[in-house]
Amino acid sequence: MRRTRLAGALTAVLALALGATGCGGGGGNGSGGKESASGTSAASADRIEPLAAPAAPRLPVTVPSADGRTVTVTSTERIVPLSGSLNEIVFTLGLGGQVVARDITATFEQAEKLPVVTRAHDVSAESVLSLRPTLVLAEGTTGPAEAIAQIRDAGIPLVVVKPAKALSDVGSRIEAVAAALGVPDSGSTLEKRTEERIGAVRKAIPAREEKPRVAFLYVRGSAAVYLLGGAESGASSLLEAAGAIDAGKESGLTKDFTPITSEALAKAAPDAILVMSKGLDSVGGVDGLVKIPGVAETPAGAARRVVTVDDGVLLNYGPRTDQVLKSLIGQLYGEQK
């Protein structure tokens, strides 16, 4: 996923997979909820909650871009955020009415009618420019580089935000986006709200003598993509915050993903498996998942313990991360109230 934590060498594989399956890496639509293997709801309505009293932008502002540039923003009348996570932050800060396009991974209800300016996670410079944006927000992994250069060459202010890989990155991302929009006070308010909500959810983790071992699998059945997450998958921080052990990381996988093998799964020995909702659907649900070589032989596969979270929020590390944690905790330990 070019603009999420699934980066590096995995990007090309995922782009191929997404094109083949016709679904975005964040393509989950949680409007009706998703049932986990144990029958608990893994998602609520796919909506964001804007700040109750957002501030009006104070412009112009000059802000640092994560690619080493300095960018001056003079207008936020027409905003194009080039990832689902960035869309989510802009909408939550109260500027959703000024967003004129979305990335394929922005699947929440308030954004779903906006035109999509990406294909398999590559941005179309022509599509972006046709919308006459006054500000473009991009991730450090947004590409291709030629498209980014074309947007900048057209004179459009483009601010790159450092990708998030852990829970500790949530605040800095909100702060960076708020600064570019000229609403630093709203950024501080949202950062505090998000931090408090995450803290409240973490307090609800039941005490256990042994932490559950959870393996994060990225699967896309139609494209025959079956990967086991390691230390750099982006899921480790979430699993650890939920009181679990990232089984892939703990088994010695230091990179983002590795192809699933019976040997790798046996070494990880997960008690539960975490998958994205669309990924689980793509392999035919839990019945299809346990048919992947090695899965049925794990404690998780034998017990059919599968945890699902909608693709559009799982690795966003943004204003709805508390909901992701609540879903993980609810499914791992029993639904949280």
Question: Residue 273's pLDDT band (boundaries 50, 70, 90)?
Answer: very high
Cα distances (angstroms) measured from residue 220 to each of 6, 103, 243: 14, 20, 27
Q: pTM of this prediction?
A: 0.83
Span 235-244, pLDDT tens digits: 999 999 999 9
**122 pairs with which residues across the strands?**
119, 143
pLDDT exceeds 70 at position 49:
yes
DSSP states of 113-179: TSPB-EETTEE-HHHHHHT--SEEEEETT-B-HHHHHHHHHTT--EEEEPPP-SGGGHHHHHHHHHH
Pairing of β 158-161 and β 135-139: parallel
Question: Residue 19's pLDDT band (boundaries 50, 70, 90)?
Answer: very low
The single-letter DSSP state of residue 19 is: H
Span 142-166, pLDDT tens digits: 999 999 999 999 999 999 999 888 9
Q: How far apart are the first and last CA of the chain?
A: 32
The answer to whether 173 and 162 are in contact (CB under 8 A) is yes
Span 188-225, pLDDT tens digits: 999 999 999 999 999 989 888 899 999 999 999 988 99
pLDDT exceeds 60 at position 8:
no
Pairing of β 257-259 and β 245-246: unpaired
Using omega within 30 degrees of 0 as the cis cutoff, is the peptide bond preceding 144 cis?
A: yes
Pairing of β 213-220 and β 272-276: parallel
pLDDT exceeds 60 at position 280:
yes
Decide which of 208 and 228 is more confident: 228
Helix %, strand %, coil % of the chain (to 5)? 40, 15, 45
